[in-house]
């Protein structure tokens, strides 16, 4: 066991990553923050619209899109990646619709069939063309966030900004943030009440497809960092934590950002301590935050109910 | 069945309170139902009609109070109680045919490990015949119309051969012919000395169909023979002002107990 | 045929034409070593080797995949009809930390330790889902996704920590992620056999309870069936069968082996017991194909291959299922559209006859075209279609009823007018509003409904528009007395 769990060294775990090793962990922490924040912002809408499992489906099914895009373009460039993800995202939605609209198979089973098929195709292509794709099973599962500091730097006007994937992720977060600000009202209405949205001239179908497109882009950018399955956690954990605390969407967005910061920080520390996969460590950090919030709220509820003054039967005499 | 068991009321409810997510839906319901009657439960939407039935059947947790069936708890006499749930509560694409569904009414009597026997099949066939659905015995259930689905549910309840029946909106969304057929079957059952408690939503027909009425709005507004209870004043009390006060208090309570509100 | 082709085939059938084209472009240009291996395979020889039971590890792989297909298909059927497909998904991801902890128990791949650990972790996952939905306002989908990913992340942390250890490096735990049927050992297979046997026995013993609680849990509980216990038992068996499938299919895709074969069976039958048999069959088929291609492809992960096998079977059922398949539905739709079209033409002929438009014994195509507001060519096409079904004969540009045609036409007109009368009389709909409805209903009214309508309408003979309703005597007289009346023409007589 001592081999498995190393001794906890306060300085090494909590301080060193942000001081001596900032060069290395700074980028990783920042990347984690960007990934969790953009996933979490999109995830808020998934949770509100009860589409959390579409996030699950899309995060699995971008894999074949990614692999085919890499094979097609022969590179791991940003644009082929986005194109592949978009096509894969659209295909997933179409497949799910084709299965559950045209047969009596229900939506949950349709989601399961569609994403597992696409993911299996992606995995198989990855193993067959492992030389060409430069993606392996490990990357698909754990992500490569640890390699972010080793990536070539993007320079703008002679100034080094940051590693390629980090800059890309920052761009995605910026776009997601701007879209949310620009369409805040429309998204809110369409998420709560389809009928009202229609009456206000907002086409819920467009909102849905737009959201799926953004989801595909976000998922594929996060994919490289944290892998296919951990992305789901990034999508759901922040929003779930936020919706325990508040019911207002704007507050949820704010809490998501805080949650992202906490899980990136906890994740890096956990990784330094336990020497495990960073992506998974960030999710575990985020889950710990969720668990604490859950426990605190349950405790508050308990306090509240134990000193409840009116019993239902006594008010009955009204 | 003889002696003491038969003398106990088919259904006795004492101080029953049921809440969804800590928001009370039924408050302090007291009720004693006489045997051999066809009883309708009416009340506005959200009055707790279905909730009352489900709580009696032990399908919902009670916050307080108790329910006795023939003087015993439901767990002791499950085979004496029959149930017709709302038609929308099941998936009609489910891979079973009409006969399978009606046979499910026999499962409670069969107990563990026993398969439906020829006797059970004959009972099921008789029940299907009583609701005039025998020709459809081998149909897949998704190929039935709404009225036919409701008759299948009724046949399943008949197959339970119970003494007390709970029915949740058996007339909702059925055609006139089915409605008439169901009423006939219900009256037959009543004439055999069974007790039937039926949630109903249509006031004019309620007066026609039922021997007694239970006017419900979160608690019992009135219960008694139809002629006595079905008055403008009582209906006003059921559907009128009381609703607003009670539901306001309930929502206040629900919010107070419902956790963090920012 | 090679696996690459199979994948492409599967994609193409799902109408991903772009992907097909793309992948075809790649197949010749990229000469991946493994692809060449596959292309050079002697298929006959490999088939014999795989199914001959000579080779111990192959024997284990074959028996193992049969067993896992069986148990997953059987239990998966229940989660599909209970609409819990994604609970299976969450469960299968949640077992990963249990696998790692089971390995840590004595630092070896002891099947029993891993089995117990994984089942416990899976059940903890489902318990947490229900705790979350009960105590918070999170919806079930959110709770499922949350538990799935969180447990999986904990599992990944543990697995990466184990792999860092000197002993863990060659632990083979990575095989649990994507599956390798070839890595199955004797212990694994006997565990699989036990679990499958238990699953089959329990489903056999409690079939009645499982069926009743799946169809209508409220009713089942009310009639004294312990629905909670059935549910917990099902979850336990589900966790167990997920875990035994892990080594061959992998954590990531094992849910597909629960869902896809069961959904395939759901498309093929309308009875639960047949669905169980079919789902197990599809599961076995998918399992064996996956194991076989993985064996041939030397080290290709088994899980994706099994899943693609299952999805291919599903795709076939999706398109070619006899009753619920897309092609069957489309065909039925087409058939009924064609029938409606024929019957409308017959009705037009009847109307012409009724209005005295028959010259001698038939009517010209021009009249028919005029009546249906079509071109002569279209009228000719329709008449030929009628002729093809024996309802009419066409001679140069004159159309004649056959007795059958005349009879059918009279029936359609009767249905139409009866329904119009019924709507006006019984449903109080204005006479000028009933035509469109009758246009649709006339094609689907069965004989018994017609009898009932006639009885209720007191065998009325005139419709709301004052036209006469053909009675049974009008309809059958013509058929009985061949060519006796102006409307009917025996083909032989015309020539």
Report ipTM (2 d.p.).
Answer: 0.88
Neighbours of C328 (CB within 10 A): 15
Check A304 against B256: CB less than 8 A apart. Answer: yes
Q: Across A11-15, A45-49, C24-28, which has the greatest mean pLDDT?
A: A45-49
For residue C104, pLDDT over 90 is answered with: no
Q: What is the mean pLDDT of residues C160-179?
A: 73
Which pLDDT value is given to residue A313? 41
As given in the structure block, the two tokens for residue A170 are 């920052």
User: C11 to chain A: which residues are within 8 Å by CB?
Assistant: 121
Say what the alpha-carbon torsion angle C129, C131, C135, C139 is, to the nearest 10 degrees.
10
Interface list for B 40-99 with C (CB within 8 A): 54, 57-59, 75, 78-79, 81, 83, 85, 89-91, 94-97
For residue C324, pLDDT over 70 is answered with: yes
Could you tell me how many residues make up chain A?
318
Using a pLDDT cut of 90, give the percent of chain C over it: 25
Strand-pairing partners, residue C23, are none
* Tens-digit pLDDT profile for residues A203-235: 888 888 888 889 999 998 888 888 888 889 999
Neighbours of C62 (CB within 10 A): 23
Nearest CA-CA distance, residue C209 and chain B, Å: 8
Which pLDDT value is given to residue B260? 31
| Mutation site for A-interface testing, chosen from C28, C75, C134, C146 by largest number of A Cβ within 10 Å | C146
pLDDT band at C40 (very low <50, low <70, confident <90, very high): low
- The answer to whether A5 touches C158, Cβ cutoff 8 Å, is no
Q: What is the mean pLDDT of residues C413-418?
A: 84
Rounded CA separation A306/B257 (Å): 10
- The answer to whether C234 touches C75, Cβ cutoff 8 Å, is yes
Check A315 against B93: CB less than 8 A apart. Answer: no
Which pLDDT value is given to residue C249? 86
Find the CB nearest C219 among B83, B100, B140: B83
User: A248 to chain B: which residues are within 8 Å by CB?
Assistant: 262
Q: What is the mean pLDDT of residues C5-10?
A: 40
Q: Tell me the domains of chain C and their CATH numbers.
A: 1-40 (no CATH), 52-324 (1.10.3470.10), 333-494 (1.10.10.10)
* Tens-digit pLDDT profile for residues A94-153: 899 888 888 888 888 999 999 999 999 988 888 888 777 667 777 777 777 777 777 777
Chain C touched by B115 (CB under 8 Å): yes
pLDDT band at A2 (very low <50, low <70, confident <90, very high): low
> Which contiguous run of DSSP H or E holds residue B13?
strand B11-20
pLDDT band at C476 (very low <50, low <70, confident <90, very high): low
Nearest CA-CA distance, residue C460 and chain B, Å: 21
**Sequence-distant (≥ 6) Cβ neighbours of residue C204 within 8 angstroms:** none
Strand-pairing partners, residue B18, are B26
Half-sphere CA count of C462, side-chain side, radius 13 A: 3
As given in the structure block, the two tokens for residue C288 are 């064996």
Q: Work out the end-to-end distance of chain A between its first and last CA atoms, rounded to an integer number of angstroms.
A: 64
Q: What is the mean pLDDT of residues A66-90?
A: 85
For residue A257, pLDDT over 50 is answered with: yes
If we measure between CA atoms, which residue out of A108, A221, B67, B131 comes closest to residue C258? Answer: A108
Using a pLDDT cut of 70, give the percent of chain C over it: 83
Which pLDDT value is given to residue C214? 93
CATH number of the domain that A14 lies in? 1.10.3470.10
Check B93 against A300: CB less than 8 A apart. Answer: no
Q: Closest chain C residue to B91 measured between Cα atoms?
A: C215
Orientation of helix A22-48 relative to helix A278-306, angle to 10°: 50
Q: Given strand B23-33, what is the order of strands in its sheet? A: B23-33, B11-20, B64-69
Q: What is the mean pLDDT of residues A288-295?
A: 93
Q: What is the mean pLDDT of residues C326-340?
A: 86
Check C22 against A297: CB less than 8 A apart. Answer: no
How confident is the prediction for chain A on average, in pLDDT?
A: 83
| Structural domain for A44, as ranges | 10-152+161-305
Pairwise pLDDT comparison (C53 vs B112), residue with the higher score: B112
Which pLDDT value is given to residue C378? 82
Report the alpha-carbon angle B208-B212-B216, nearest 5. Answer: 105
On whether residue A1 sits in a domain, the answer given is: no
Q: What is the mean pLDDT of residues C204-222?
A: 92
What's the Rg (C-alpha) of chain C?
33
Pairwise pLDDT comparison (B245 vs A159), residue with the higher score: A159
For residue A245, pLDDT over 50 is answered with: yes
Could you tell me how many residues make up chain C?
495
pLDDT band at A55 (very low <50, low <70, confident <90, very high): confident
Check A304 against B259: CB less than 8 A apart. Answer: yes
B112 by DSSP, 3-state: which? Answer: coil
Which pLDDT value is given to residue A307? 54
pLDDT band at C37 (very low <50, low <70, confident <90, very high): low
How confident is the prediction for chain C on average, in pLDDT?
A: 79
On whether residue A173 sits in a domain, the answer given is: yes
- The answer to whether B41 touches B210, Cβ cutoff 8 Å, is no
> Which contiguous run of DSSP H or E holds residue B41?
strand B38-42
Of the candidate ranges B108-122, C10-24, C74-88, C410-424, the one whose mean pLDDT is the lowest: C10-24
Find the CB nearest A313 among B28, B256, B262: B28
Which pLDDT value is given to residue C168? 58
Strand-pairing partners, residue B83, are B166
Q: What is the mean pLDDT of residues C391-397?
A: 81
Pairwise pLDDT comparison (C419 vs C306), residue with the higher score: C306
Orientation of helix C403-426 relative to helix C472-480, angle to 10°: 180
Pairwise pLDDT comparison (C38 vs B201), residue with the higher score: B201
Say what the alpha-carbon torsion angle B46, B52, B55, B59 is, to the nearest 10 degrees.
-60
Number of structural domains (chain A) is 1
Q: Closest chain C residue to A278 measured between Cα atoms?
A: C157
The superfamily (CATH) of domain B4-90+161-257 is P-loop containing nucleotide triphosphate hydrolases (3.40.50.300)
Rounded CA separation B231/A222 (Å): 67
| Mutation site for B-interface testing, chosen from C82, C270, C279, C428 by largest number of B Cβ within 10 Å | C270
For residue C26, pLDDT over 50 is answered with: no
Find the CB nearest A315 among B22, B142, B249: B249
Rounded CA separation C459/C474 (Å): 13
Q: Across A280-294, C51-65, C298-312, C448-462, which has the greatest mean pLDDT?
A: A280-294
Of the candidate ranges A35-44, A64-73, C13-22, C305-314, the one whose mean pLDDT is the lowest: C13-22
Pairwise pLDDT comparison (A259 vs C106), residue with the higher score: A259
Which pLDDT value is given to residue B241? 58
* Tens-digit pLDDT profile for residues C179-194: 778 778 888 899 999 9
Report the alpha-carbon angle A44-A48-A50, nearest 5. Answer: 115
Nearest CA-CA distance, residue A116 and chain C, Å: 6
pLDDT band at C30 (very low <50, low <70, confident <90, very high): very low
pLDDT along chain B (262 residues), means of 10: 59 88 82 90 86 89 88 85 90 91 90 86 93 89 88 93 92 84 91 92 84 88 87 79 53 44 31
Nearest CA-CA distance, residue A244 and chain B, Å: 8
Which pLDDT value is given to residue C27? 41
For residue C262, pLDDT over 90 is answered with: yes
Domains of chain B, by residue range, sit at 4-90+161-257
For residue C166, pLDDT over 80 is answered with: no
Which pLDDT value is given to residue C11? 38
Pairwise pLDDT comparison (C127 vs A14), residue with the higher score: C127
- The answer to whether A267 touches A32, Cβ cutoff 8 Å, is yes
Of the candidate ranges A215-224, B216-225, C331-340, C350-359, the one whose mean pLDDT is the lowest: C350-359
Chain B touched by A307 (CB under 8 Å): no
As given in the structure block, the two tokens for residue A135 are 């993606």
Rounded CA separation C448/C438 (Å): 17
Q: What is the DSSP string of chain A?
A: -TTTS----HIIIIIGGGTTTHHHHHHHHHHHHHHHHHHHHHHHHHHHTT-HHHHHHHHHHHHHHHHHHHHHHSS--HHHHHHHHHHHHHHHHHHHHHHHHHSS--HHHHHHHHHHHHHHHHHHHHHHTHHHH---HHHHHH--GGGGGGSPEEEETTEEEEEHHHHHHHHHHHHHHHHHHHTHHHHHHHHH-HHHHHHTT--HHHHHHHHHHHHHHHHHHHHHHH-TTHHHHHHHHHHHHHHHH-S-HHHHHHHHHHHHHHHHHHHHHHHHHH---HHHHHHHHHHHHHHHHHHHHHHHHHHHHHT----HHHHTT-
Q: What is the mean pLDDT of residues C245-250?
A: 84
SS (H, E, C) chain C: CCHHHHHHHHHHHCCCHHHHHHHHHHHHHCCCHHHHHHHCCCHHHHHHHHHCCCCHHHHHHHHHHHHHHHHHHHHHHHHHHCCCHHHHHHHHHHCHHHHHHHHHHHCCCCHHHHHHHHHHHHHHHHHHHHHHHHHCCCCHHHHHHHHHHHHHHHHHHHHHHHHHCCCHHHCCCCHHHHCCHHHCCHHHHHHHHHHHHHHHHHHHHCHHHHHHHHHCHHHHHHCCCCHHHHHHHHHHHHHHHHHHHHHHHCCCCHHHHHHHHHHHHHHHCCCHHHHHHHHHHHHHHHHHHHHHHHHHCCCCCHHHHHHHHHHHHHHHHHHHCCCCCHHHHHHHHHHHHHHHHHHHHHHHHHHHHHCCCCECCEEEHHHHHHHHCCCHHHHHHHHHHHHHCCCEEEECCEEEECHHHHHHHHHHHHHHHHHHHHHHHHCCCCHHHCHHHHHHHCCCCCHHHHHHHHHHCCCCCECCCCCECCCHHHHHHHHHCCCCCCCCCCHHHHC
Rounded CA separation C285/A234 (Å): 36
Nearest CA-CA distance, residue B64 and chain C, Å: 20
Neighbours of C46 (CB within 10 A): 14
| Mutation site for A-interface testing, chosen from C95, C138, C142, C257 by largest number of A Cβ within 10 Å | C142
Which pLDDT value is given to residue B251? 56
Rounded CA separation A10/A288 (Å): 19
For residue A35, pLDDT over 80 is answered with: yes
User: C303 to chain A: which residues are within 8 Å by CB?
Assistant: 120, 123
Check B262 against A104: CB less than 8 A apart. Answer: no
Which pLDDT value is given to residue A173? 93
Q: Closest chain A residue to B242 measured between Cα atoms?
A: A318
Q: Closest chain C residue to B116 measured between Cα atoms?
A: C208
Q: What is the DSSP string of B71-108?
A: TB-GGG-GGGEEEE--GGGS-TTSS-BHHHHHHHHHHH
């Amino acid at each position: 066991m001592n081999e498995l769990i190393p001794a906890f060294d306060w300085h090494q775990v909590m301080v060193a990553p942000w001081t001596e090793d900032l060069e290395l962990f700074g980028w990783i922490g920042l990347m984690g923050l960007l990934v969790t924040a953009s996933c979490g912002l999109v995830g808020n809408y998934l949770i509100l619209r009860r589409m959390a499992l579409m996030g699950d489906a899309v995060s699995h099914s971008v894999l074949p899109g990614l692999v085919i895009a890499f094979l097609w373009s022969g590179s791991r460039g940003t644009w082929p990646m986005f194109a592949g993800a978009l096509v894969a995202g659209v295909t997933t939605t179409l497949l799910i619709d084709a299965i559950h609209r045209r047969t009596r198979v229900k939506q949950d089973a349709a989601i399961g069939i569609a994403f597992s098929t696409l993911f299996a195709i992606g995995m198989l292509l990855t193993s067959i063309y492992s030389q060409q794709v430069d993606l392996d099973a490990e990357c698909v599962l754990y992500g490569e966030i640890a390699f972010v500091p080793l990536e070539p730097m993007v320079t703008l006007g002679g100034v080094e900004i940051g590693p390629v994937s980090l800059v890309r992720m920052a761009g995605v977060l910026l776009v997601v943030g701007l879209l949310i600000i620009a369409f805040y009202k429309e998204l809110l209405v369409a998420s709560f009440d389809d009928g009202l949205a229609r009456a206000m001239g907002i086409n819920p179908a467009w909102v849905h497809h737009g959201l799926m497109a953004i989801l595909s882009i976000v998922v594929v950018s996060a994919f490289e960092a944290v892998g296919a399955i951990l992305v789901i956690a990034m999508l759901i954990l922040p929003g779930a934590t936020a919706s325990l605390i508040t019911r207002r969407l704007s507050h949820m967005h704010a809490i998501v950002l805080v949650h992202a910061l906490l899980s990136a920080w906890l994740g890096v520390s956990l990784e330094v301590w336990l020497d495990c996969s960073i992506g998974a460590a960030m999710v575990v950090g985020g889950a710990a935050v969720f668990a604490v919030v859950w426990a605190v709220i349950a405790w508050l509820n308990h306090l509240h109910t134990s000193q409840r003054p009116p019993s239902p039967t006594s008010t009955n005499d009204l | 069945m003889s002696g003491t068991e038969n003398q106990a009321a088919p259904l006795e409810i004492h101080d029953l309170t049921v809440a969804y997510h800590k928001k009370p839906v039924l408050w302090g319901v007291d009720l004693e139902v006489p045997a051999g009657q066809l009883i309708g439960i009416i009340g506005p939407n959200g009055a707790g009609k279905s909730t009352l039935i489900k709580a009696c059947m032990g399908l919902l947790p009670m916050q307080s109070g108790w329910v006795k069936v023939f003087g015993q708890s439901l767990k002791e006499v499950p085979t004496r109680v029959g149930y017709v749930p709302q038609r929308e509560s099941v998936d009609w694409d489910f891979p079973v045919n009409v006969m399978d569904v009606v046979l499910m009414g026999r499962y409670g009597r069969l107990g563990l490990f026993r398969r439906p026997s020829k006797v059970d099949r004959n009972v099921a066939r008789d029940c299907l015949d009583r609701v005039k659905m025998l020709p459809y015995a081998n149909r897949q259930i998704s190929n039935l119309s709404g009225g036919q689905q409701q008759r299948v549910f009724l046949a399943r309840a008949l197959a339970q051969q119970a003494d007390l029946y709970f029915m949740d909106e058996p007339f909702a969304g059925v055609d006139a012919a089915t409605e008439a057929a169901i009423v006939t079957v219900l009256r037959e059952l009543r004439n055999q000395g069974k007790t039937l408690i039926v949630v109903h939503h249509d006031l004019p027909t309620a007066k026609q169909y039922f021997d007694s009425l239970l006017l419900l709005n979160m608690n019992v507004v009135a219960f008694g023979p139809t002629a006595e209870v079905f008055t403008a004043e009582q209906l006003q009390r059921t559907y009128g002002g009381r609703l607003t006060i009670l539901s306001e208090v309930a929502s206040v309570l629900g919010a107070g107990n419902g956790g963090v509100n920012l | 045929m090679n696996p690459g082709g199979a994948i492409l085939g599967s994609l193409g059938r799902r109408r991903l034409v772009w992907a097909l084209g793309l992948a075809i472009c790649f197949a010749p240009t990229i000469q991946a070593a493994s692809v060449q291996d596959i292309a050079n395979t002697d298929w006959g020889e490999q088939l014999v080797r795989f199914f001959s039971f000579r080779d111990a590890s192959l024997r284990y792989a074959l028996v193992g995949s049969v067993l896992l297909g069986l148990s997953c298909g059987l239990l998966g059927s229940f989660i599909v009809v209970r609409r819990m497909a994604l609970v299976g998904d969450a469960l299968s991801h949640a077992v990963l930390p249990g696998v790692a902890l089971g390995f840590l128990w004595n630092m070896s791949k002891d099947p029993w330790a891993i089995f117990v650990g994984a089942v416990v972790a899976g059940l903890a996952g489902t318990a947490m889902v229900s705790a979350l939905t009960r105590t918070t306002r999170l919806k079930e989908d959110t709770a499922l996704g949350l538990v799935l990913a969180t447990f999986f992340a904990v599992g990944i942390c543990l697995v990466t920590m184990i792999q860092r250890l000197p002993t863990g490096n060659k632990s083979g735990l990575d095989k649990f992620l994507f599956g390798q049927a070839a890595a199955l050992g004797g212990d694994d297979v006997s565990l699989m056999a036990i679990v499958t046997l238990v699953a089959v026995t329990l489903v056999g013993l409690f079939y009645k309870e499982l069926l009743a609680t799946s169809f209508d849990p409220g009713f089942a509980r009310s009639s004294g069936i312990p629905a909670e216990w059935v549910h917990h038992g099902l979850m336990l068996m589900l966790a167990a069968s997920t875990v035994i499938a892990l080594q061959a299919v992998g954590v990531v895709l094992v849910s597909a082996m629960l869902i896809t074969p069961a959904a395939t069976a759901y498309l093929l039958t309308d009875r639960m017991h047949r669905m169980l048999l079919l789902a197990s069959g599809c599961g076995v088929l998918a399992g064996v194909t996956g194991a076989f291609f993985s064996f041939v492809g030397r080290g290709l992960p088994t899980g994706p291959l099994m899943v693609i096998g299952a999805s291919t079977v599903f795709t076939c059922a999706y398109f070619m299922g006899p009753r619920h398949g897309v092609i069957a539905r489309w065909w039925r739709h087409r058939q009924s559209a064609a029938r409606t079209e024929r019957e409308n033409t017959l009705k037009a002929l009847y109307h012409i006859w009724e209005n005295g438009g028959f010259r001698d014994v038939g009517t010209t195509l021009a009249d028919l075209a005029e009546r249906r507001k079509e071109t002569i060519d279209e009228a000719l096409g329709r008449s030929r279609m009628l002729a093809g079904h024996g309802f009419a004969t066409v001679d140069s540009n004159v159309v004649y009823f056959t007795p059958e045609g005349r009879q059918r036409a009279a029936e359609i007109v009767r249905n139409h007018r009866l329904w119009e009368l019924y709507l006006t009389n019984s449903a109080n709909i204005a006479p000028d509003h009933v035509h469109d409805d009758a246009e649709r209903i006339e094609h689907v009214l069965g004989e018994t409904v017609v009898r009932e309508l006639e009885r209720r309408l007191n065998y009325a003979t005139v419709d709301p528009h004052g036209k006469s309703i053909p009675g049974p005597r009008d309809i059958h007289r013509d058929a009985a007395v061949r060519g006796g009346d102006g409307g009917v023409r025996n083909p032989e007589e015309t020539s």
